[in-house]
Amino acid sequence: MFPRWIRVGSREASFDPGATAVRGRFGWAGYGRLVGLRQLLANSPGATMPVGERWQLQSLAASLGMSAPKCREFLEFLADAGCVDGEVLKTRGEVFDNAVWEQVQAYQTRCRANRANGKKGGFHT
C-alpha cells in the first residue's frame, strides 16, 4: 500500500528549481497540479502513470482539472523542468517522478521495519 501523502509542499519544495519554474509558468494553480500529480503517482503502482494512449491522457487531464492538450503541454514542461522523468515520458509514455518513488520506497521500508518489530499498521510520524 502506498502512502496517502507525499512531501511536496515542504520548505525544500519552495527552493526546488523545478517547482519554482512551474509556479513561474503556470502560477500557483500549476504548482497545485504538480502536487496533485505527485499524489496520484504516490498511489499508483510503481509510482508511474501511463499517458501514451489518448484515453489515459484524458483521464489524467480530468483528474488535474485541465484539457488533454493542456495536460500534454504541462507534462512536457514538467519533463523539461526536471519534475518528472522526460526519458520515461518520451520512450514509454508514462509519467514517473523519481523523488516520489524514493519516498514511496522509504515509506514501505519503514512499514516493514515496524511490522518486524511487532507494530501493526503503517508508519506514523
Residue 96: closest CA among 107, 104, 85, 83:
85
Instruction: Collect all residues with Cβ–Cβ distance below 8 Å to 49 and sequence separation of at least 6.
Output: 40, 41, 56, 60, 94, 95
Q: What is the pTM of this model?
A: 0.75
Angle between helices 17-42 and 98-116 (to 10 degrees): 50
The answer to whether the CB of 66 falls within 8 A of the CB of 60 is: no
pLDDT computed for residue 1 by the predictor: 39
pLDDT computed for residue 7 by the predictor: 53
Q: 1 lies in a domain?
A: no
Domain with residue 94: its CATH number is 1.10.10
What percent of the chain stands above pLDDT 70? Answer: 78
Structural domain count, the chain: 1
Q: 43 lies in a domain?
A: yes
Q: Rounded distance, CA 97 to CA 51, Å?
A: 14
Q: 26 lies in a domain?
A: yes
pLDDT (average), residues 82-104: 78
Give 4-61 pLDDT, tens digit per residue.
444 554 445 666 788 889 999 999 999 899 888 888 888 888 778 899 999 999 999 9
pLDDT reading at 112 higher than 80: no
pLDDT reading at 3 higher than 60: no
